[in-house]
Amino acid sequence: MKTTVHGIHHVTAIAGNPQENLDFYAGVMGMRLVKKSVNQDAIDTYHLFYADAAGTPGSDLTFFPWPNMGPGRPGVALTMEVPFAVPLGSLKYWQKQFDDLGVNYAKIETRFGETTLPFRDPHGLPLALVETDDERPFVPWQKSLVPPGHQLRGMHSVRLWERHLAPTETLLTDRMGFTLIGVENGWHRYGVDGGGSGKLVEVKEMPEESRGRWGTGSVHHVAWRAHDSEEEMALRSVIESAGLNPTPQIDRFWFKSVYFREPGGVLFELATDGPGFDRDEDMERLGEQLILPPWLEPHRKEIEAGLPFLKMPGAGSN
């Protein structure tokens, strides 16, 4: 049986000030804060998870806020943009929203036949909104400041810069189940599980470009969906047999993870669909309290003392 991922699970990026991050994603963008936790590898910083109402895999954009870190440097071996899916006809709403709230955005463009609005978040992270009628799992957040008909449906794709296309393409197509869908303006679009919104990755070969560097406003890693632990470990074996160096499986409590760098240097993760964000919180109250995995709970007092207070924005707070 051919191993395959099943699309994007989540994307994790680096932010600056955590309150500014919360105000933008829960306020301006209308996403639900489904989990307020800490970086399990650096517990003095938050890990904030934004998604649809249920934290559906593929809808989740997460952040490590490191306000003292300098800005990232664009370049190869990084994910250079995170496009989100929105319903057809939504971009007029979003342009007015951005105008009213002072969000900088670029001209609407067409990519692979899809109407696209590029923009950046307050810390410089490159994002885009892509109009699509592709069917995909989505649970609207009724307390959002954004009407359900215009809410973000989840990541549409991710866009990578690579110095050399071929090694990355081989990994995607031979090991991870992707198929080349098309080429446009130097971008190579690949789809998995039949393609469609949330199951896409776009890669551009940039042989003269310098290597990028993590910092605020940059993507830390892209996580790809595995249905369960058994499938994840089968994928891990395939990644290891390709000469890469995947980590052991790591229990993140809400899902299980395996990390590796693809041949061009972009950090990838394999993440299981479950157990899910309601494993330790009632679905109606996701994101309201600081949640720690069981092994960090004994250190709650000192962890809380080292974190800044966060206030939910506006009437759309959980």
Q: Which two tokens stand for residue 277?
A: 């964000």
Q: Which two tokens stand for residue 283?
A: 């679905």
Given a contact cutoff of 8 angstroms between Cβ atoms, the answer to whether 256 and 270 are in contact is no
Does residue 312 lie in a domain region? no
Does residue 1 lie in a domain region? no
Does residue 109 lie in a domain region? yes
The confidence band for 316, taking pLDDT boundaries of 50, 70 and 90, is very low
| Distance, CA of 235 to CA of 230 (rounded, Å) | 9
The confidence band for 317, taking pLDDT boundaries of 50, 70 and 90, is very low
Percentage of the chain with pLDDT > 70? 98
- Terminal-residue alpha carbon distance, the chain: 43
What pLDDT, in 10s, does the model give residues 112-122? 999 999 999 99
Does residue 186 lie in a domain region? yes
What pLDDT, in 10s, does the model give residues 24-53? 999 999 999 999 999 998 999 999 999 999
Q: Is the pLDDT of residue 242 over 70?
A: yes
What pLDDT, in 10s, does the model give residues 123-134? 999 999 999 999
The confidence band for 1, taking pLDDT boundaries of 50, 70 and 90, is low
Percentage of the chain with pLDDT > 90? 97
| Distance, CA of 124 to CA of 122 (rounded, Å) | 6
| Distance, CA of 306 to CA of 318 (rounded, Å) | 23
Q: Which two tokens stand for residue 142?
A: 């009724």
Instruction: Report pLDDT for 314.
Output: 76
Does residue 42 lie in a domain region? yes
What pLDDT, in 10s, does the model give residues 65-74? 999 999 999 9
Tell whether omega for the bond before 275 is within 30 degrees of 0, i.e. cis: yes
What pLDDT, in 10s, does the model give residues 281-301? 999 999 999 999 999 999 999
Q: Report how many domains make up the chain.
A: 1
Does residue 315 lie in a domain region? no
| Distance, CA of 247 to CA of 249 (rounded, Å) | 6
The confidence band for 318, taking pLDDT boundaries of 50, 70 and 90, is very low
Does residue 270 lie in a domain region? yes
Does residue 317 lie in a domain region? no
DSSP state of 279: G
Given a contact cutoff of 8 angstroms between Cβ atoms, the answer to whether 161 and 204 are in contact is yes
pTM, two decimals, is: 0.96
CATH number at residue 176: 3.10.180.10
Tell me the average pLDDT of the chain: 96
The domain in which residue 193 lies consists of: 8-305
